[in-house]
Structure 1
C-alpha cells in the first residue's frame, strides 16, 4: 500500500486528475447506483475551493500591495488590454460563425420567471456597485470586484505600517496559500465525483436535439482557444505560443471544465502562475480580476444564442448591426458575473438589439439551460484558462523587452 501511495504521489497532478476522470466515467456508466455516493467528493472539492478563494484573494492582494516597492512594474495595463481584446474577438468570431452556419431553435419554456437585466447601463451599474460592496458581504458572496477593491485600499493604507504588521499579513497570505495546496491535492477525487454527478444526473439524451447549436457554440470556443488566443499571445511574445496554450488548458482548463466555476478555479490558476514563475504582485490581482471581466466564453454564448433567435425568427441582420452585437456581447460578458444567472440571462439584453420580445428571448434562455451542462463547462474552461494565458503573455512580453530568456518548452 505504501509503495502504491508513493507511486501515486510521484505522478503529476494532471495525470492524477486524468486517472480520476477515467475512473469516474467507468463507475458512472457501469455501476451508476453504486457510484452515486462518490458524488459528495465533487461537491466537497468545489465547496472547499469556493470557500477558500475569497480569503486567498483578500490576503494575497493586500500583502502584495502593502509590500509593493515603488517603481516595480506589474504589467496590469497590458493584461487588461489582452482581456478586453480577447473577449471582443471571441464575440466577433461567434457572430461570423453564426452567419456561416446559421442555427434555428425549437424554443423551450421554463425560464420565463427569471429576471434579466434591462440594459447595458443596468449591467455596468451592477458591476460598479459591486466595487463598493460591504467587505464582509463581498467575501461571503464571493464578489471578487468588491474583494479586489477592499484588498487594494487596505494594502495601500498599510504601505506605511510597521514591518512586523506587513510580515504578519504576509504570513497569513502564505498560510492560506498552503491551505490551497492541501485542497488541490484532492482534485482527482473531486473531479471523479463531479464526472459521476454530471453523467448520472444529466446524461446526453437531453442534448441530442440541440446538436447543431452545441456544435457551433463549442466549435467557436475551441477556435478561440486554439487559434485566436495563440495569435494574440504570439503578437505579444513573438514565439510559438502553443506550449503555453496547452499548459494553461491542461492545468487550468480541465479543472474549470468540471467545476464550472471561475471562482472555484482561482486557487488553481494562482498555483499555475506560481509554477510559471510569474510575478506574484501581478497575478494576485490579474487572476481574480480575470475571473470577473475576462469572459471570452460568455461573449461566444451571448452572440451565438442571440443570432440563433434571429435566424429562428427570420430577422435580417446587416453588417454594422452584427459588429454592434460583437461589442455589446463583449461589454455584457464583462459584466456577466455581476448578474444572477451569468451569461445566459444577458441574452434578452442582446436580443433587444433586434427587437425580439422578452418572452421569446427568455425561451432562448430556456434552451441555454437545457444545453447548460456542456455550454457552461466549455465556457468556464475557456474563460479561466485564458486568465493565466494572458497574464503569462503580458509578463513574457516584458521579459522579452528586458532581454530575459523565455523558455516555453520548460513551461510546458
Structure 2
C-alpha cells in the first residue's frame, strides 16, 4: 500500500485527475447503483472550492493593493482589452458558423417558469448594482464584482495602515491560499464523483437528437480555444502560443469542465498563475474579474442558439443584423454572471432582436438546458482557462518588451 501511495504521489495532479476521470466513467458504466454514494465526493469538492473562493479573492486583492508599491506596474488595461476582444471574436465566429452550418431545433419545454432579463439595460444595471452590493452579502452570494470593489477600496484605505496591520492581512491571505492548495489536492477524487454523477444521471442518449446543435456549439468553442485564442496570444508574445494554450486547457480547463463553475475554478486559476510566475498584484484581480466578464463560451452559446431559433422560424437575417448580434451576444455574455441562470437566460434578449416572441424564445432556453450537460461544461472550460491565458499573455508581452525570457513549464 505504501508503494502504491508513493507512486500515486509521484504523478502530476493532471495525471491523477485523468485517473479519477477514467475510474468515474468505469463505475458509471458498470455498477452505477452500487457506486452511487461517491456522488457526494464530487458535491463536496465543488462546494469546498465555491466556499473558499470568495474569501480567497477578498483577502488576496485587499492584501495585494494594501502592500502595492508606488510605481509598480500592472497589466490590467491590456488584460481587460484581451477579455473583451476574445468575447467579441467568439460571438462573431458563432454567427459565421451558424450561417455556414445552419441549425434547426426541435423546440423543448421546461423553461417556462424561469424569468429572463427584459433588455441589455437590465443586464448592465444588475452588473453595475453588484459593484455597490453589501460586502457581507457579496461574500455570501459569491458576487465577485462586489467582492472586488470592496477589496480594492479597503486595500487603498489600508495603504497608510501600520506594517503590523498589513502583515496580518497578508498572513490571512497566505492561510486561505494554503487551504486552497489542500482543496485542490482532492481534485482527482472530486472529479471522479462529478463525472460519475454526470454519466450515471444523464447518459449520452438524451443528447443524440440535438447532435447537430452540439457539433456547432462545441465546434465553435474548440475553434476559439485552438485557433482564435492562440492567434491573440501570438500577437502579444510573438512566439509559439500553443505550449501556454495547452497548459491552460490542461490545468484549468479540465477542472472547469467538470465543476461547470467559473467561480469554483478561481482557486485553480490562481494556483496556475502562481506556477507560471505571474505578478500576484495583477492576477489576484484579473482572475476573479475574468470569471465575471471574460465569457467567450457564453457569447458562442447565445449567438448559436439565437440563430438556431431564427433558422427554425424561417426568418431571413442580413449581414448588418448578424454583426449587431455579434456585439449584442458579447455584451450579454459579459453580464451573464449577474443574471440567475447564466448565458441561457440571455437568449430571449438576443431573440428579441429578430422579433421572436418570448414564449418561443423560452422553448429555445429549454433546449439549452437539455444540451447543457455538454454545452455548459465546454463553455465553462473555455471561459475559465482563457482567464489565465489572457492574464499570462499580457504579462508575457511586458516580459518580451523588457527582454525577459518567457519559459512555460510543461
Q: What pairs with 1:171-190 in structure 2 (closer than 5 Å)?
A: 171-190=171-190
Deviation at 1:380, TM superposition (A): 0.1
Tell me the residue number matched to 2:359. 359
Distance in 2, matches of 1:13 and 1:351, equals: 42
Q: State how far apart, in whole Å, the 2-side matches of 1:386 and 1:252 are.
A: 9
Query: C-alpha separation between the residues in 2 aligned to 1:41 and 1:24?
Result: 11
Q: Give the aligned partner of residue 255 of structure 1.
A: 255
Indicate whether 1:203 and 2:206 are aligned: no
Taking the aligned partners of 1:35 and 1:387, their CA distance within structure 2 comes to 35
Match of 1:170 in 2: 170
Q: For 1:25, what is the secondary structure of its paired residue?
A: helix
In 1: Cα distance, 2:381 partner to 2:299 partner: 14
Unpaired runs of 5+ residues, structure 1, are: none
1:238 aligns to 2:227 (yes or no): no
Deviations 1:133-175 (CA, angstroms, capped at 9, x unpaired): 0000000000000000000000000000000000000000000
Instruction: Please name the residue that 1:345 is paired with.
Output: 345
Alignment of 1:183-332 (within 5 A): 183-332=183-332
Q: Corresponding residue for 1:7?
A: 7
Tell me which residue corresponds to 1:129.
129
Equivalent in the alignment of 2:333: 333
* C-alpha distance in structure 2 between counterparts of 1:35 and 1:84, whole Å: 43
Alignment-derived partner of residue 80 in structure 2: 80
Deviation (angstroms), 1:100: 0.1
Corresponding position of 1:142: 142
- Residues 349-390 of structure 1, C-alpha deviations (whole Å, 9 max, x = no match): 000000000000000000000101100000000000000000
Aligned to 2:93: 93
- With the length of structure 2 as denominator, give the TM-score of the two structures: 1.00
Q: Give the SS at the match of 1:371.
A: helix
* 1:47-89 C-alpha deviation (Å, 9 max, x unpaired): 0000000000000000000000011111000000000000000
Aligned residues: 410
How many angstroms apart in 1 are the aligned matches of 2:41 and 2:198?
13
Once the two structures are TM-superposed, the CA of residue 204 in structure 1 deviates from its matched residue by: 1.0
Q: Which residue of 1 aligns with 2:103?
A: 103
Q: Which runs of 5+ in 2 are unaligned?
A: none
**1:201: Cα distance to partner?**
0.7
Match of 2:261, SS state, is coil
Q: Distance in 1 between matches of 2:242 and 2:280?
A: 23
Deviating runs (4+, > 6 A) in structure 1? none
SS in 1 for 2:362: helix
Taking the aligned partners of 1:246 and 1:304, their CA distance within structure 2 comes to 25
Deviation at 1:263, TM superposition (A): 0.2
Deviation of residue 184 (structure 1)?
0.5
2:46 corresponds to: 46
TM-score, normalising length from structure 1? 0.99
In 1, distance between residues paired with 2:35 and 2:379? 27
Shift of residue 10, structure 1, vs aligned partner: 1.0
1:113 equivalenced with 2:113 (yes/no)? yes
Distance (Å, rounded) in 2 between the aligned partners of 1:285 and 1:355: 39
CA shift, 1:205, in A, is 1.4
Aligned position for 2:377: 377
Match of 1:392 in 2: 392
Provide, for residues 10-50 of structure 1, a one-character-per-residue CA deviation record: whole Å limited to 9, x for no partner: 11000000000001101110111111101110000000000
Give the Cα separation in 2 of the matches to 1:28 and 1:106: 29
1:22 match: 22
Distance 2:197 2:27 in 1: 11
CA distance in 2, matches of 1:78, 1:378: 26
The 2-side partners of 1:329 and 1:405 are apart by: 38
1:61-76 map, 5 Å:
61-76=61-76
Q: 3-state SS of the aligned residue for 2:103?
A: coil
Distance 1:29 1:110 in 2: 28
